[in-house]
Amino acid sequence: MSAIPLTVRGAERLRAELHRLKTVERPNVINAIAEARAHGDLSENAEYAAARERQAFIEGRIKELDGTLSNAQIIDPTELDVDGKAVFGATVEIEDLETGNRVTYQIVGDVEADIRENLISVSSPVARALIGKEPGDVVEVHAPAGLREYEVLSVSYE
């Protein structure tokens, strides 16, 4: 399996989720299964079936997180000599040249991308266009709605 790029914050989030699943969720579901078993006939026990389903989900997520973290390449942009350019992990403020709308994105790995938190995947069209750019540069992004032009206003490394 190839390396999975993660930001420092993204790796911390995944470790925290893994810790919670192993120390809180897993014991809770084991207790729920034991309690449901105590109710008798398992073939018609909805609580038991639901608890087993929840256990399967938790175990699958633990396995997924273990795999991701074991193959993670944690990249801290503050330790890179990038001379003000947008790189993996950088936070970039851009302005749509047509509408004047401004938005700030952090370029992150695929597993930590979340558009609601303005975390965009390094493999997204916007991030690919921004990589290597610096304030004042204009980038063209081929989006589903057509060609968009953005000006890079600032690049920071948090």
Question: Domain of 31: which CATH number?
Answer: 1.10.287.180
Q: How confident is the model at residue 145 (pLDDT cuts 50, 70, 90)?
A: confident
Chain position carrying tokens 């991308």: 113
- Are residues 60 and 91 located together in one domain of the fold? no
Q: Domain end: 56, 75, 94, which one?
A: 75
Q: How many domains does one find in the chain?
A: 2
Q: Report percent pLDDT > 70 for the chain.
A: 97
Rg (CA), the chain: 22
- Are residues 11 and 54 located together in one domain of the fold? yes
Alpha-helical (H) ranges within the chain are 8-20, 26-37, 46-70, 125-130
- Are residues 103 and 59 located together in one domain of the fold? no
- Are residues 84 and 140 located together in one domain of the fold? yes
- Are residues 110 and 135 located together in one domain of the fold? yes
pLDDT for 23 equals: 97
- Are residues 48 and 85 located together in one domain of the fold? no
Question: Domain of 144: which CATH number?
Answer: 3.10.50.30
DSSP conformational letter for 78: G
Q: How confident is the model at residue 26 (pLDDT cuts 50, 70, 90)?
A: very high
- Are residues 62 and 123 located together in one domain of the fold? no
Q: Domain end: 75, 93, 111, which one?
A: 75
Q: Domain end: 75, 99, 130, which one?
A: 75
Smallest CA-to-CA distance from 84 within 13, 154, 20, 19 is with 154
The reported pTM is 0.82
- Are residues 46 and 68 located together in one domain of the fold? yes
Average pLDDT over residues 51-55: 94
> Can you give the residue range of the structural domain that contains 128?
79-156
- C-beta separation of 156 from 134 below 8 A: no
Q: Give me 126's structure tokens.
A: 């916007």
pLDDT in tens, 105-142: 999 999 999 999 999 999 999 999 999 999 999 999 98
pLDDT for 1 equals: 57
- Are residues 111 and 58 located together in one domain of the fold? no
Q: How confident is the model at residue 36 (pLDDT cuts 50, 70, 90)?
A: confident
- Are residues 8 and 23 located together in one domain of the fold? yes
pLDDT in tens, 78-112: 888 888 899 999 999 999 999 999 999 999 999 99
Looking at every residue in the chain, the average pLDDT score rounds to 92
- Are residues 149 and 95 located together in one domain of the fold? yes
pLDDT in tens, 146-158: 899 999 999 998 7
